[in-house]
Amino acid sequence: MEILQPLGLHRKRAKALVRLSEDYLAATTSAAQQQVVPTPAPAPAAPDEALDSPASWAASARAPVGSIPPTAPGPPPPFPPRVPPRRVPLQVPAASLHGVGVYAADAHAMFCEGLMGVAPRDHALRWWYAWAIERRESGRKQAAWRRHSLGEHE
Protein backbone atom coordinates (compact mmCIF):
# COMPACT_ATOMS: atom_id res chain seq x y z
CA MET A 1 0.00 0.00 0.00
CA GLU A 2 3.04 2.27 0.29
CA ILE A 3 3.20 2.42 -3.49
CA LEU A 4 -0.34 3.75 -3.72
CA GLN A 5 -0.05 6.32 -0.94
CA PRO A 6 1.42 9.15 -3.10
CA LEU A 7 -1.45 8.68 -5.51
CA GLY A 8 -4.01 9.20 -2.79
CA LEU A 9 -5.19 5.62 -3.08
CA HIS A 10 -3.85 4.28 0.18
CA ARG A 11 -7.07 3.74 2.09
CA LYS A 12 -10.39 2.67 0.69
CA ARG A 13 -9.32 2.46 -2.94
CA ALA A 14 -6.24 0.40 -2.14
CA LYS A 15 -8.37 -2.14 -0.33
CA ALA A 16 -10.74 -2.26 -3.30
CA LEU A 17 -7.81 -2.75 -5.72
CA VAL A 18 -6.41 -5.54 -3.58
CA ARG A 19 -9.80 -7.25 -3.39
CA LEU A 20 -10.33 -6.93 -7.15
CA SER A 21 -6.86 -8.39 -7.75
CA GLU A 22 -7.51 -11.29 -5.39
CA ASP A 23 -10.89 -11.99 -7.03
CA TYR A 24 -9.29 -11.88 -10.50
CA LEU A 25 -6.49 -14.24 -9.49
CA ALA A 26 -8.98 -16.63 -7.94
CA ALA A 27 -11.09 -16.53 -11.11
CA THR A 28 -8.13 -17.33 -13.37
CA THR A 29 -5.89 -19.51 -11.20
CA SER A 30 -7.79 -22.77 -11.57
CA ALA A 31 -7.80 -22.45 -15.37
CA ALA A 32 -4.13 -21.44 -15.42
CA GLN A 33 -3.12 -24.47 -13.37
CA GLN A 34 -4.82 -26.74 -15.89
CA GLN A 35 -2.87 -25.15 -18.77
CA VAL A 36 0.58 -25.49 -17.19
CA VAL A 37 2.79 -27.82 -19.19
CA PRO A 38 5.91 -29.04 -17.39
CA THR A 39 9.12 -28.33 -19.27
CA PRO A 40 12.18 -30.54 -18.96
CA ALA A 41 15.12 -29.13 -17.05
CA PRO A 42 17.94 -27.87 -19.28
CA ALA A 43 20.98 -30.12 -19.59
CA PRO A 44 23.97 -28.91 -17.59
CA ALA A 45 26.77 -27.33 -19.60
CA ALA A 46 29.89 -29.35 -20.30
CA PRO A 47 32.80 -28.41 -18.01
CA ASP A 48 34.85 -26.93 -20.87
CA GLU A 49 31.90 -24.70 -21.86
CA ALA A 50 31.21 -23.43 -18.36
CA LEU A 51 31.42 -19.67 -18.00
CA ASP A 52 32.55 -19.87 -14.41
CA SER A 53 35.69 -21.89 -15.09
CA PRO A 54 39.08 -20.41 -14.14
CA ALA A 55 40.20 -20.69 -17.77
CA SER A 56 37.46 -18.32 -18.90
CA TRP A 57 38.37 -15.89 -16.10
CA ALA A 58 41.97 -15.76 -17.25
CA ALA A 59 41.00 -15.29 -20.90
CA SER A 60 38.60 -12.47 -20.08
CA ALA A 61 41.18 -10.77 -17.85
CA ARG A 62 43.74 -10.68 -20.69
CA ALA A 63 41.33 -9.55 -23.39
CA PRO A 64 40.92 -5.81 -23.99
CA VAL A 65 37.56 -4.27 -23.14
CA GLY A 66 35.04 -4.68 -25.96
CA SER A 67 36.88 -7.49 -27.73
CA ILE A 68 35.44 -10.91 -28.41
CA PRO A 69 37.05 -13.61 -26.28
CA PRO A 70 39.14 -16.09 -28.30
CA THR A 71 36.95 -18.99 -27.19
CA ALA A 72 33.80 -17.51 -28.77
CA PRO A 73 32.50 -19.98 -31.39
CA GLY A 74 31.05 -17.27 -33.67
CA PRO A 75 28.11 -14.92 -33.67
CA PRO A 76 25.70 -15.18 -30.78
CA PRO A 77 22.69 -17.41 -31.31
CA PRO A 78 19.55 -15.66 -32.58
CA PHE A 79 16.83 -14.77 -30.11
CA PRO A 80 14.21 -17.48 -29.75
CA PRO A 81 10.90 -16.65 -31.44
CA ARG A 82 8.61 -14.57 -29.25
CA VAL A 83 5.72 -16.61 -27.96
CA PRO A 84 2.68 -14.52 -27.13
CA PRO A 85 1.40 -15.09 -23.62
CA ARG A 86 -1.62 -17.32 -23.32
CA ARG A 87 -4.66 -15.48 -22.06
CA VAL A 88 -6.37 -17.37 -19.29
CA PRO A 89 -10.15 -16.86 -19.49
CA LEU A 90 -12.14 -15.89 -16.45
CA GLN A 91 -14.08 -18.73 -14.89
CA VAL A 92 -16.76 -16.32 -13.65
CA PRO A 93 -18.47 -13.34 -15.32
CA ALA A 94 -16.37 -10.18 -15.12
CA ALA A 95 -19.29 -8.34 -13.52
CA SER A 96 -19.07 -10.62 -10.48
CA LEU A 97 -15.57 -9.35 -9.56
CA HIS A 98 -15.40 -6.78 -6.76
CA GLY A 99 -15.76 -3.20 -8.02
CA VAL A 100 -16.44 -4.07 -11.66
CA GLY A 101 -19.23 -1.91 -13.00
CA VAL A 102 -21.26 -1.82 -16.17
CA TYR A 103 -18.55 -0.17 -18.26
CA ALA A 104 -15.83 -2.62 -17.24
CA ALA A 105 -18.06 -5.66 -17.66
CA ASP A 106 -19.21 -4.58 -21.14
CA ALA A 107 -15.67 -3.60 -22.17
CA HIS A 108 -14.34 -6.98 -21.03
CA ALA A 109 -17.05 -8.79 -22.98
CA MET A 110 -16.38 -6.78 -26.15
CA PHE A 111 -12.60 -6.48 -26.17
CA CYS A 112 -11.44 -9.58 -24.28
CA GLU A 113 -14.12 -12.12 -25.14
CA GLY A 114 -15.04 -10.70 -28.56
CA LEU A 115 -18.77 -10.67 -27.88
CA MET A 116 -20.44 -8.22 -30.26
CA GLY A 117 -23.93 -9.72 -30.41
CA VAL A 118 -25.62 -7.38 -27.95
CA ALA A 119 -25.23 -3.61 -27.64
CA PRO A 120 -23.43 -2.57 -24.45
CA ARG A 121 -25.30 -0.94 -21.58
CA ASP A 122 -22.79 1.88 -21.10
CA HIS A 123 -23.39 4.97 -23.27
CA ALA A 124 -19.69 5.53 -24.12
CA LEU A 125 -19.30 1.94 -25.27
CA ARG A 126 -22.51 2.22 -27.32
CA TRP A 127 -20.82 4.92 -29.42
CA TRP A 128 -17.84 2.63 -30.07
CA TYR A 129 -20.17 -0.32 -30.71
CA ALA A 130 -22.18 1.67 -33.32
CA TRP A 131 -18.93 2.72 -35.01
CA ALA A 132 -17.63 -0.87 -35.05
CA ILE A 133 -20.89 -2.25 -36.47
CA GLU A 134 -20.98 0.47 -39.14
CA ARG A 135 -17.36 -0.23 -40.06
CA ARG A 136 -18.01 -3.98 -40.25
CA GLU A 137 -21.07 -3.46 -42.46
CA SER A 138 -19.16 -1.03 -44.68
CA GLY A 139 -16.41 -3.63 -45.13
CA ARG A 140 -18.97 -6.28 -46.04
CA LYS A 141 -20.59 -3.99 -48.61
CA GLN A 142 -17.21 -3.20 -50.18
CA ALA A 143 -16.28 -6.89 -50.33
CA ALA A 144 -19.64 -7.74 -51.91
CA TRP A 145 -19.21 -4.94 -54.44
CA ARG A 146 -15.71 -6.21 -55.34
CA ARG A 147 -16.97 -9.77 -55.76
CA HIS A 148 -19.85 -8.50 -57.89
CA SER A 149 -17.62 -6.31 -60.08
CA LEU A 150 -15.08 -9.11 -60.55
CA GLY A 151 -17.87 -11.50 -61.49
CA GLU A 152 -19.19 -9.17 -64.22
CA HIS A 153 -15.82 -8.77 -65.94
CA GLU A 154 -15.08 -12.48 -66.28
- Prediction pTM value: 0.48
Q: With bands split at pLDDT 50, 70 and 90, how would you rate the model's confidence at 87? A: confident
Which tens digits make up the pLDDT trace of 48-67?
Answer: 455 555 555 555 555 555 55
97 CB burial (10 A radius; 0-12, 13-18, 19+): buried
User: Residue 72 — pLDDT band, cuts 50, 70, 90?
Assistant: low
